[in-house]
A = this chain, B = another copy of it.
Amino acid sequence: MKNAIEREIPENIVWYDTVINYATPFEKEPTGRKIAPLLKQVKPSENKLVNSIEELIQKAGLKTGMTISFHHHFRDGDYILNSIVEKIAQMGIKDITIVPSSLSNIHESLVEHIKNGVITGIHTSGIRGRLAEAISNGLMEKPIVIRSHGGRARAIEAGEIKIDVAFLGVPSCDEYGNASGKGANTICGSLGYAKVDAAYADQVVLITDDLVAYPNYPASISQTDVDYVIKVDAVGDPSGIASGATRFTKNPKELLIAQYASKLIVNSPYFKEGFSFQTGSGGASLAVTRFIKAEMKSKNIKARFALGGITKPMVQMHEEGLIEHLFDVQSFDLVACESIMKNPNHHEIDASLYANPHNKGCVANQLDIVILSALEIDVDFNVNVITGSDGVIRGASGGHSDTAAASKLSIIVAPLIRGRIPTVVDGVNTVITPGETVDVVVTDRGIAINPKRTDLLEIFKNTDLPIFTIEELKEKAQKIVGKAKPIAYLEKIVGIVEYRDGSIIDVIKQVK
């Protein structure tokens, strides 16, 4: 069975009662009601504090076969996921599905716990390193499920991901469960992904290394959502959680891409007083932010908001008055972490408000311009950000497909070739973002505008920007590095790529 973008999708997938194939970005309408949390009485005399992880797991009622969640705000400094899974293994609990908002290199110990049967399912946005390689090589019986950040929030609210216990590490909290992204030992800023888990999981437990006096306010996670609290020695490694470094690229390719992209933006109808944008933390993306900033200053234009993962350059623009509001689902660096704690218009938002397509309107719906990266782009403008040129999983869906679909102008920035590997290709290995939601591809060797954006083609027909068709870009790449050899896959499906609306847009097969 092929879906609307010609990807072969199996009729039966273990995770789904009914497999719905991807059709168009907004075709799948939700029905019914959100899933609702359990009702519970906590009497005035009752205490939520527990003394050991084992007691925590017992009180939360965790049993073989259940689903547990984690957040990835601690990035590569996270101690929580590994220590909880380790304890679960020690207690003899098996067949657990984990649904973290994302996974990092630090989580490679999961390989052992998959082998020993403790972990049998993974739903995540991103996955990298030895764990991702092992999965691509067929480690798991059940395929992993890749979701976008907005899609994960949607799936949780729709009850498609049912979280039995959410294990949420927090930089600080009080005994009653009010948690903050800043503590005495660590700071992670926004707890935007964790907020969704806290609101919908059956059991919510907070793990902190900074237990403070009640009330720990303002709170990112509220006492009304929290069942148990535990104090541990350390929730993570501060240097892995947030670094102060912002990479200012000197790579000439990246600078050229950024120059093209910012020129395109500045000459688009969206660059005007009160516009909004999202940029990532990659080199080209950060450089775009710098170039746009200069244009905004010279033309005296201010942005109403910036969205997404927030970085130091955005905070600086906010503090200089160039961006009125920052909507922060994830604070990417130390400057962003500190800013969200002190700047009243630097707002913490949860992943549903950020980009869920099935609430009453996410912030991404109001977004004018988004700059997104890519591992591969194909001639139908489909984008891959999850598998490498060898077919191995090594990326993250993130907010890519969410903001591409919801924004008015989505721009993909990527070098035309990486080493000996072409970026613009006939068909991407894996589709995360469908081409019909991509407006422009900007490479160091030229720009391609999606033919369906006739308005943009008209605007840029007499520009000095190097505009080509996407086929021309593909051919340029081929001329330099030749055509990439097709990847040898086995039949086994190791990953499912769910589109933000819950339909299946692609699958990932085992590599040979």
Chain A contacts to B: CB under 8 angstroms: 26, 29-44, 46, 48, 157-158, 176-177, 204, 213-215, 217-218, 222-227, 274, 304-305, 325, 327, 344-345, 347, 352-353, 356-366, 405-408
Using A224-B359, A224-B361, A305-B215 as known contacts, say yes or no to A158 and B39 having CB atoms under 8 A apart: yes
Structural contact, A42 and B361, CB atoms closer than 8 A: yes
| Distance A327 CA – B304 CA, assembled complex (angstroms) | 30
| Distance A356 CA – B39 CA, assembled complex (angstroms) | 11
Using A353-B222, A360-B226 as known contacts, say yes or no to A30 and B40 having CB atoms under 8 A apart: yes
- What 7 A-B pairs come out closest when comparing CB atoms? A30-B39, A36-B36, A34-B36, A42-B361, A224-B359, A44-B365, A33-B36
Which of B37, B344, B359 makes the CB contact (< 8 A) with A218? B344
Known: A32-B38, A218-B344. 5 other contacts (CB 8 A): A35-B36, A39-B157, A42-B361, A217-B345, A223-B363
Which of B29, B41, B344, B406 makes the CB contact (< 8 A) with A30? B41
Contacts of A217 in B (CB 8 A): 325, 345, 347
| Distance A356 CA – B41 CA, assembled complex (angstroms) | 9
Give A326's nearest chain B residue, CB to CB. Answer: B217
How far is the CB of A451 from the nearest CB of chain B, in Å? 20
Which of B29, B31, B226, B361 makes the CB contact (< 8 A) with A223? B361
Structural contact, A26 and B38, CB atoms closer than 8 A: no
Structural contact, A37 and B26, CB atoms closer than 8 A: no
What would 28 A/B residue contacts be, using CB atoms closer than 8 Å?
A30-B40, A32-B38, A33-B36, A34-B37, A34-B38, A42-B365, A43-B365, A44-B365, A44-B366, A44-B407, A44-B408, A46-B361, A176-B365, A204-B360, A213-B274, A213-B304, A214-B304, A214-B366, A215-B305, A215-B363, A218-B347, A222-B353, A224-B353, A224-B359, A224-B360, A224-B361, A226-B361, A344-B344
Contacts of A304 in B (CB 8 A): 213-215
Give A228's nearest chain B residue, CB to CB. Answer: B360
| Distance A274 CA – B175 CA, assembled complex (angstroms) | 15
| Distance A54 CA – B225 CA, assembled complex (angstroms) | 38
| Distance A37 CA – B43 CA, assembled complex (angstroms) | 26
How far is the CB of A142 from the nearest CB of chain B, in Å? 26
How far is the CB of A362 from the nearest CB of chain B, in Å? 7
| Distance A34 CA – B39 CA, assembled complex (angstroms) | 6
Give A408's nearest chain B residue, CB to CB. Answer: B44
Contacts of A33 in B (CB 8 A): 35-39
| Distance A479 CA – B327 CA, assembled complex (angstroms) | 66
Using A225-B360, A345-B217, A360-B223 as known contacts, say yes or no to A366 and B176 having CB atoms under 8 A apart: yes
Structural contact, B30 and A215, CB atoms closer than 8 A: no
Give A219's nearest chain B residue, CB to CB. Answer: B347
| Distance A352 CA – B217 CA, assembled complex (angstroms) | 17
Contacts of A157 in B (CB 8 A): 39
| Distance A179 CA – B344 CA, assembled complex (angstroms) | 16
| Distance A359 CA – B223 CA, assembled complex (angstroms) | 9
Contacts of A361 in B (CB 8 A): 42, 46, 48, 176-177, 223-224, 226
Using A304-B215, A353-B222 as known contacts, say yes or no to A177 and B360 having CB atoms under 8 A apart: yes
How far is the CB of A162 from the nearest CB of chain B, in Å? 11
Contacts of A325 in B (CB 8 A): 215, 217
